[in-house]
Amino acid sequence: MNRMIYSHEVCRWDVWEITIPGPTDGNPFTDFPVSGTFTGKNETVKADGFYDGEGIYRVRFMPSFEGSYHFRIQAPFLTEGAEGDFTVLPAREENHGPVRVANTFHFAYEDGSPYYSIGTTCYVWALQSDERIRETLESLKEARFNKIRFCIFPKHYAYNLGEPRSYPYEGTPMDGSVLTDENFMVFMGKTEGNHWDFTRFNPAHFRHLETCIRELERLGIEADLIVMHPYDRWGFSCMSAEQDDLYWNYVVARFSAFHNVWWSLANEHDLMFQKTQKDWERYAEILCSKDPYRHLRSIHNCFSFYDYNRPWVTHCSIQRQDLYKGAEYADLWRQKYQKPVVLDEIAYEGNLQYGWGNLSAEEMVRRFWETACRGGYPGHGETYRNPEGVLWWSHGGKLRGESWKRFGFLLDMMKETPGHGLAPYPMSWDCVCAVPESEPFIPVKSYYLVYFSFMQPSLREFHFDDSTDFEVEVIDTWNMTVEKRGTYRGRFQVELPGRAYMAVRLRKRPR
Amino acid sequence: MNRMIYSHEVCRWDVWEITIPGPTDGNPFTDFPVSGTFTGKNETVKADGFYDGEGIYRVRFMPSFEGSYHFRIQAPFLTEGAEGDFTVLPAREENHGPVRVANTFHFAYEDGSPYYSIGTTCYVWALQSDERIRETLESLKEARFNKIRFCIFPKHYAYNLGEPRSYPYEGTPMDGSVLTDENFMVFMGKTEGNHWDFTRFNPAHFRHLETCIRELERLGIEADLIVMHPYDRWGFSCMSAEQDDLYWNYVVARFSAFHNVWWSLANEHDLMFQKTQKDWERYAEILCSKDPYRHLRSIHNCFSFYDYNRPWVTHCSIQRQDLYKGAEYADLWRQKYQKPVVLDEIAYEGNLQYGWGNLSAEEMVRRFWETACRGGYPGHGETYRNPEGVLWWSHGGKLRGESWKRFGFLLDMMKETPGHGLAPYPMSWDCVCAVPESEPFIPVKSYYLVYFSFMQPSLREFHFDDSTDFEVEVIDTWNMTVEKRGTYRGRFQVELPGRAYMAVRLRKRPR
């Protein structure tokens, strides 16, 4: 038997991993459960390991504290548990730990620094060519996205008829050459022609996803992993409960130790007609019991919301239900669920024939500001038809639209808001106003961000009190300009350019 | 005593009027009730007369049928009823009679020709200078509006601090020179400094309004008279029940005989805190019993709708209640009330600081199309600040915006729809589709008008059946172009330019 390999040092919130040679007979994915126990001064963590092919088993651990740790590995093929020690060093400067819910409605990294989510969706970017993946990472960086939703399983849908770079299971797929844009619905969820062994994973598929998660980590981007979804022609959406559970356990064992992972139980769970609420609750149970790091957990709807009040749901991951309004409900959903509201799908910028994929850039940016100023977190996607058939929403690649260029500006505004997070404030029926979350009203708020959405006022009057000085800025959210207008007190009017997508920021001036 | 004056001939639906000299002592407005009874082959009509000042009493009648009529005038100062005959000639070519509800959700003139309402609001255009009134009429004509909402009483509100050209009562107004844009709310509804005799009307005020109604009639425009409103500093909104009833009776006696009159009981009834629902029902009773011609009746809300199910309400006159959605509910309101839905206020094009008055032209036109394609009738208003302080919404004058230029195009589309009126059709969740009202579905509709609103699809697939030929046109509702795309059958795709405000019209081709 070869030696186990592991490092004696790891930084806080990085992945410590031990490589254990083991048996290849039988079914190594099911026959030899491997796990580790990790004990430091402040925590004892039990984590499952997994079979990574070619006689290699691995156990991963993400330490949440600095200092000395002792580990003990359990496996049926180790007659006595292997054990040892390692040291957890301070976190790398750029690693702030996993993202947590903070302040009821917002997020913070575990080290306490705020995290303001500006997400995008590229369902199967990770299953494209190396070159495309490189391109996607470049685009993500330039756009300043800090979260990306993507799938573990390949996707079958309009504009997505190609084969993925790899499959999650051993076996062979149906012949995809019969597919056309017209007939793809016929093959939805079907398994004819597919031959998979749902008890044997393809480790290369998962290893590759891990490479992608690490690449995102390097860019400071959260990997919002969509574990299940209905857009399937390989049968991955129609497995048995036992097969599902095996999959969930494998996924959790492989990915949990990456600090930037979020769990999205499903994309459009309500279109997975094979699954019942019991199933979703069972998957959630696996997550809650097997992910020792309590990564963020949610589940995304098509038509009807999952019950976001369920205790295992850490935040709402919402697709808007109405063609016209969605972002505009962010504040109501906050009230209802008392959790962070992430609008992962408020329709996409693009020009498809479908209402979910043909927003103008202006409307996309407007929805981002509406969401943010109502105390929620918006998500992007892009669906422009093009001769190459490469759509960001599905494949990643190059961004073709105009909205993505404007999210960094919004992100900066979020970061510049005092305290931690924006809270909706009922200033008037005809504007959207954000103030710092949880800030007492004495005698006025320190900061008001007033957004006028599609309206085009040429002036706006304000009157908070007669004594507070406010520094006034006029913000063009589309052109990304901030114009200082000086200091005002009492009742005052701010002249505006009479075009849409403007905001006014008022900051209490220190005395 | 001078001779009574009347004409022996009048055209159908025109105003027949008799001038009766009478007493000037006491209070002629209350002491000498005058009325007439008009009997033709097909109708007997009783109509109240009114005192028009300087010893002149008048009774008006609008004949609904051709042929010989006999009249009899009753008045306490006529010892025996004066009577006589006149002949009703065929209607003038341009007079189609009063507008009625037809087809549940739509309107038709009494002669049966459809009336598609494209309205605007100029609250007190009629109380401006002759020159401004001339300008307004020119603008109305150019914009192809066919309905205008306006007030009988003067209006006191932001941008409306000036005095009207005349007052409805004998007396003197408060000193308006104390008013500023900042303090005008303080004088809302107040009566201090005003001295009016609410039992004595100023006939010149009403005569002038009649001139305006006649001018509108010449342009084929319906006069949607707002009888009461809360924007008042003269006390006209705070009269006693008795005074109100005197006013209502006078208004009905004077204006009913004009075929192009509609009754709007109030603008923003729910802001008239002095009035109860009982009051509104009493006014409605006066209208129903005293207006022999059953002109259209409605009442307009600010926040909460009046109960449009009330039998005296002929159609909904709605102000949208939500900042974002309004036009989008037209089809729901049709379902709910089973009456024509007129969205008289879906916010105005302009640049005021108020959310009701700062829509872009694009959004205004979008709301018009949304309303129309959902089987309702949209209304316009314009509120651009300007150095002259002349805002269309209040004063009329020149139109400064961009939306008004595009309503004639929509009106033509409405007229080109087969049958009578557009009905919403649930084609898909992500477009708005209108079909001809009440047309059977055998095997497809003859006509589909598909509107894409703010979305920007670059194509759209259609499939009605495999045998019907459709003539396809691509409509740019903003640029007002109609592009013929030829004939299609079965499943077909229509390429679109990938910008907002587009529509596709599909007309079944005769075999």
pLDDT given for residue A282 in this prediction: 98
Considering all CA atoms of chain B, what is the largest pairwise distance in Å, rounded to the nearest integer?
A: 81
- The residue to which tokens 């107004």 are assigned: B173
Residue (of A222, A243, A242, A251) closest to A153 by Cα position: A251
How far is residue A408's CA from residue A423's CA, in Å, rounded to a whole number?
A: 19
SS3 state at B330: helix
Facing residue for A358 by CB, picked from B385, B429, B455? B455
pLDDT given for residue A3 in this prediction: 85
Q: Is the peptide bond before B424 cis (omega within 30 degrees of 0)?
A: no
**Cβ neighbours of B431 in A, within 8 Å:** 355
pLDDT given for residue A442 in this prediction: 79
Q: What is the CA radius of gyration of chain A?
A: 24
**Cβ neighbours of A371 in B, within 8 Å:** none
pLDDT given for residue A186 in this prediction: 87
Q: Judge whether A430 and A419 are in contact, CB under 8 Å.
A: no
**Cβ neighbours of A454 in B, within 8 Å:** 359-360, 363
Is residue A325 within 8 angstroms of chain B, CB to CB? Answer: yes
d(CA B323, nearest CA chain A) in Å? 7
CATH architecture of B5-89: Sandwich (2.60)
pLDDT, tens digit, 9 for 90 and up, residues B292-321: 999 999 999 999 999 999 999 999 999 999
Is residue B328 within 8 angstroms of chain A, CB to CB? Answer: yes
Average pLDDT over residues B236-241: 96
pLDDT, tens digit, 9 for 90 and up, residues B369-379: 999 999 999 99
Sheet containing strand A422-425, strands side by side: A422-425, A432-436, A447-451, A502-508, A470-476, A481-488
Enter the tokens of residue A31: 């026959």
Q: How many CB pairs under 8 A join A and B?
A: 84
Residue (of A64, A78, A69) closest to A35 by Cα position: A78
How far is residue B397's CA from residue B395's CA, in Å, rounded to a whole number?
A: 6
Facing residue for B359 by CB, picked from A352, A358, A455? A455
Query: Does the pLDDT value for residue B140 go beyond 70?
Result: yes
Q: What is the CA radius of gyration of chain B?
A: 24
How far is residue A246's CA from residue A48's CA, in Å, rounded to a whole number?
A: 12
pLDDT given for residue A190 in this prediction: 77
Query: Does the pLDDT value for residue B2 go beyond 60?
Result: no
Element (H, E) at B286: helix B277-290
Facing residue for A353 by CB, picked from B358, B363, B459? B459
**Cβ neighbours of A461 in B, within 8 Å:** 353
Kindly identify which residue of chain A lies nearest to residue B431, measuring between CA atoms: A355
Is residue B461 within 8 angstroms of chain A, CB to CB? Answer: yes
Backbone angles phi, psi at A182, to 5 degrees: -85, -35
Task: Calculate the average pLDDT of chain B.
Answer: 96
> Where are any strands of DSSP class E within A238-375?
261-266, 297-298, 316-319, 341-345, 349-350
How do strand B56-61 and strand B16-21 relate by DSSP bridges? antiparallel
Facing residue for B355 by CB, picked from A325, A385, A429? A429
How far is residue B340's CA from residue A236's CA, in Å, rounded to a whole number?
A: 52
Facing residue for A351 by CB, picked from B363, B429, B456? B456
In 3-state terms chain A splits into helix, strand, coil percentages (rounded to 5) of: 25, 30, 45
Class (C level, CATH) for A440-508: mainly beta
DSSP A241-254: HHHHHHHHHHHHHH
**Cβ neighbours of A491 in B, within 8 Å:** 182
> Where are any strands of DSSP class E within A258-332?
261-266, 297-298, 316-319
Kindly identify which residue of chain A lies nearest to residue B322, measuring between CA atoms: A429
d(CA A145, nearest CA chain B) in Å? 24
Average pLDDT over residues B401-424: 98
User: What are the residue ranges spanned by the domains of chain B?
Assistant: 5-89, 115-389, 422-508
Confirm or reject CATH 3.20.20.80 for domain A99-416, answering yes or no.
yes
**Cβ neighbours of A302 in B, within 8 Å:** none
Is residue A240 within 8 angstroms of chain B, CB to CB? Answer: no
Query: Does the pLDDT value for residue B1 go beyond 60?
Result: no
d(CA B72, nearest CA chain A) in Å? 57
For the question of an ipTM over 0.90, the answer is yes
How far is residue B327's CA from residue A16's CA, in Å, rounded to a whole number?
A: 58
Q: Tens of pLDDT along chain A (511 residues)?
A: 458 999 999 999 999 999 999 999 999 999 999 999 999 999 999 999 999 999 999 999 999 999 999 999 999 999 877 999 999 999 999 999 999 999 999 999 999 999 999 999 999 999 999 999 999 999 999 999 999 999 999 999 999 999 999 999 999 999 999 998 888 888 888 778 999 999 999 999 999 999 999 999 999 999 999 999 999 999 999 999 999 999 999 999 999 999 999 999 999 999 999 999 999 999 999 999 999 999 999 999 999 999 999 999 999 999 999 999 999 999 999 999 999 999 999 999 999 999 999 999 999 999 999 999 999 999 999 999 999 999 999 999 999 999 999 999 999 999 999 999 999 999 999 999 999 999 988 789 999 999 999 999 999 999 999 999 999 999 999 999 999 999 999 999 999 999 999 999 999 998 7
SS3 state at A228: strand
Q: Judge whether B245 and B285 are in contact, CB under 8 Å.
A: no
Residue (of B307, B168, B180) closest to B226 by Cα position: B168
What CATH code would you report for B115-389?
3.20.20.80
Which CATH number fits the domain B422-508, given the four candidates 2.60.40.3950, 1.20.1290.10, 2.40.50.1020, 3.90.1170.50?
2.60.40.3950
Give the 3-state DSSP-derived string for B359-370, with helices as H, strands as E and coil as C. ECHHHHHHHHHH
Which CATH number fits the domain A9-89, given the four candidates 3.40.50.300, 2.60.40.10, 2.60.40.420, 3.30.450.90?
2.60.40.10
d(CA A472, nearest CA chain B) in Å? 17
- The residue to which tokens 């806080």 are assigned: A12
Kindly identify which residue of chain B lies nearest to residue A385, measuring between CA atoms: B458
How far is residue A122's CA from residue B83's CA, in Å, rounded to a whole number?
A: 85
- Length of chain B in terms of residues written: 511
Is residue B286 within 8 angstroms of chain A, CB to CB? Answer: no
Interface touch A500/B385, C-beta < 8 Å: no
Kindly identify which residue of chain B lies nearest to residue A460, measuring between CA atoms: B353
d(CA B354, nearest CA chain A) in Å? 7
Interface touch B430/A356, C-beta < 8 Å: yes
d(CA A281, nearest CA chain B) in Å? 30
How far is residue A230's CA from residue A244's CA, in Å, rounded to a whole number?
A: 14
